[in-house]
Chains A and B, each alone.
Chain A
Amino acid sequence: NAGVTQTPKFQVLKTGQSMTLQCAQDMNHEYMSWYRQDPGMGLRLIHYSVGAGITDQGEVPNGYNVSRSTTEDFPLRLLSAAPSQTSVYFCASSYSYGRGVGGSPLHFGNGTRLTVT
């Protein structure tokens, strides 16, 4: 299993440009999510999905769009990039959110480092 795969690893955008960060998992996980990691802010949830066709907002959704047409893929779209979106983005998935004894820990991708100038 490749686990959670994110592409690209690095990206530089100019203000106003749009792009899509790709995330794919091959573990048949129901739950997928996007986080951004900023110094001193920890990991903040952008959007998440509990299954194909179902998405919802996290703490910091503004400026981002997601869709979940398949179980495997959960792309994150930046509609019009802004310098405030300079960050490291992580995709994470888990087998089955919250169900069963012990919870279901997240599996993370390697991250995408995005710089917006």
Chain B
Amino acid sequence: AQKVTQAQTEISVVEKEDVTLDCVYETRDTTYYLFWYKQPPSGELVFLIRRNSFDEQNEISGRYSWNFQKSTSSFNFTITASQVVDSAVYFCALSVPDTGRRALTFGSGTRLQVQP
């Protein structure tokens, strides 16, 4: 079975601070995909990144960066110089294609509040 843990339920920062959202996953499969989604108050999920299990390179996209560490089964997400518009719930998710279960297993989400 797969599991995704986001231990931080809610984080509050002041604008321009850096913030890291933690994600720890569990799976016995060697082939899997990890995702991060942003869910603003409107409810619509906004895709941020997908990473496959064979690519441990860290990725940077503007103010966003992701640190994938297989050794610790973590896929952490950092927002640099946070902005009020970053306020949302962020979900980490996992899919394991080889099991035929292609649906995403989501973590419980981290609510980020960026104060002006």
**Do A and B form a real pair?**
no
